[in-house]
């Protein structure tokens, strides 16, 4: 049965400051990747602002290892790897710097947007061969089609990295489209009045169960992929495999030293359910600001907030706010500010969401936020007045 789930993002008309979580802030959550000497790689997975996992692929030393531990409030960390080495440094929302094995490493945040963005995430499973051999595996796939694999048995850790080649599988929505039926994709164009967008539905999926397959075929938005991958281990061997991804579940196999291992792994990333909720009003000077509020629950979320004005003129709205300015607050503290969206430091990522405003004078924030309550404030950048629309989207990448 198809269920509407909007658990992650709740919108309120005005922010009620009582009972707000004091830890709400911009989230550092994400993948950070850097280079090691000799062609090696290091991947950090930062969970919220409090926990860090590191996967180290030391090609020069022919050794793979991993580490995990907490971050201080200021982002500092000191971890001990599975090989006994020390990995210490500091994390921000854009970079992680660390010292490791005499090297100074800078790992940068990997864009959430790319060809493999739907299956990007971390996957953990037990891989089992037909003869009963087993390996504990951790797989990281980023949106740029890079794949990193660590496998551990009782006595050793192996690992390597490579690339994924994707073949999108037909979804129910695409099948309906090919028959001339099905709903059109929702347009990102602003509406003259506040209106909710489509929900995105996710659920567990048993590939072997035809009844469950029929249930999930009702989900017109679920992305499904088939893929192959090739990984070169730090010890020089090549690992090849196959992947099938659907509804947040990764089924796969890989061949290691002539032995085929099979695994089944859930996607370890936020359960994002796309929501778009808007508020329209007249923006005046002084206390006549357009104010909206929203609460994030269930984990860090990547949200896009935009203030629309000039674009609504084509829809018959008059008078519009010609040059809206957008500011985001938490507990009275300003977290982010934007005037013209194309001037934003992450304007390319705003464009990649498909939700960039049509007019360059309109304002947008694309920001990853920790759980908590937030306030958006729209004013006229030049002191102007007029009707504006403030919208909040949850972006389905994190």
Q: What is the pLDDT of residues 45-66, one digit of tens each?
A: 988 678 899 999 999 999 999 9
The answer on pLDDT for 177 being more than 60 is no
Where in the sequence of the chain do the CATH 2.60.120.380 domains occur? Answer: 276-394
pLDDT digits (tens, 9 = 90+) for 280-296: 999 999 889 999 999 88
The answer on pLDDT for 231 being more than 80 is yes
Fold of 276-394: Jelly Rolls (2.60.120)
The contacts of residue 99 (CB under 8 Å, 6+ apart) are: 86, 87, 88, 89, 105
The answer on pLDDT for 256 being more than 90 is yes
Dihedral sign, Cα of residue 352, residue 26, residue 42, residue 166: negative
Residue showing tokens 């567990």: 204
Task: Supply the mean pLDDT for the chain.
Answer: 80
Using an 8 Å Cβ cutoff, are 293 and 373 in contact? yes
pLDDT band for position 375 (cuts 50, 70, 90)? very high
pLDDT digits (tens, 9 = 90+) for 260-287: 999 999 887 534 454 678 889 999 998 8
Residue 371: what pLDDT? 87
How confident is the model over 120-124, as a mean pLDDT?
89
The contacts of residue 34 (CB under 8 Å, 6+ apart) are: 41, 42, 44, 96, 105, 106, 107, 108
pLDDT digits (tens, 9 = 90+) for 313-371: 999 999 999 999 999 999 889 999 999 999 999 999 999 888 899 999 999 999 999 88
Residue 269: what pLDDT? 56
Beta strands 224-233 and 86-91, pairing class: unpaired
225 forms beta bridges with 168, 245
Using an 8 Å Cβ cutoff, are 232 and 160 in contact? yes
């Amino acid at each position: 049965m198809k269920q509407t789930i909007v658990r992650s993002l709740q919108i309120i008309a005005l922010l009620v400051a009582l009972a707000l979580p004091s830890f709400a802030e911009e989230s550092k959550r994400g993948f950070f990747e850097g280079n090691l000497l000799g062609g090696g790689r290091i991947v950090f997975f930062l969970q919220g602002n409090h926990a860090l996992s590191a996967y180290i692929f030391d090609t020069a030393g022919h050794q793979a290892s991993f580490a995990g531990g907490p971050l201080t409030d200021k982002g500092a960390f000191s971890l001990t790897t599975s090989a006994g080495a020390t990995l210490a440094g500091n994390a921000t929302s854009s970079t992680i710097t660390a010292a490791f094995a005499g090297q100074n490493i800078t790992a940068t945040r990997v864009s959430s947007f790319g060809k493999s963005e739907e299956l990007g995430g971390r996957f953990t499973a037990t891989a089992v061969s037909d003869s009963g051999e087993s390996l504990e595996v951790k797989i990281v796939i980023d949106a740029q089609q890079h794949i990193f694999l660590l496998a551990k048995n009782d006595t050793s850790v192996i690992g390597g990295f490579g690339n994924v080649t994707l073949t999108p599988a037909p979804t129910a929505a695409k099948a309906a489209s090919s028959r001339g039926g099905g709903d059109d994709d929702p347009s990102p164009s602003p509406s003259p009045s506040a209106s909710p967008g489509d929900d995105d539905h996710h659920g567990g999926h048993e590939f072997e169960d035809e009844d469950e397959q029929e249930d999930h075929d009702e989900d017109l938005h679920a992305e499904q992929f088939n893929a192959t991958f090739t990984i070169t281990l730090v010890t020089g061997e090549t690992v090849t495999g196959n992947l099938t991804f659907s509804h947040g579940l990764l089924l796969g196999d890989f061949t290691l030293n002539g032995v085929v291992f099979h695994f089944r792994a859930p996607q370890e990333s936020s359960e994002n359910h796309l929501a778009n909720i808007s508020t329209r009003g007249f923006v005046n000077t002084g206390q006549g600001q357009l104010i909206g509020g929203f609460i994030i629950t269930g984990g860090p979320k990547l949200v896009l907030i935009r203030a629309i004005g000039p674009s609504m003129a084509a829809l018959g709205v008059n008078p519009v706010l010609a040059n809206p300015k957008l500011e985001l607050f938490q507990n009275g503290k300003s977290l982010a500010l934007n005037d013209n969206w194309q001037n934003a430091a992450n304007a390319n990522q705003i464009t990649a969401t498909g939700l960039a405003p049509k007019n360059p004078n309109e304002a947008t924030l694309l920001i990853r936020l920790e759980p908590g309550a937030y306030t958006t404030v729209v004013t006229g950048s030049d002191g102007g007045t007029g009707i504006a629309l403030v919208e909040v989207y949850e972006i389905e990448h994190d």
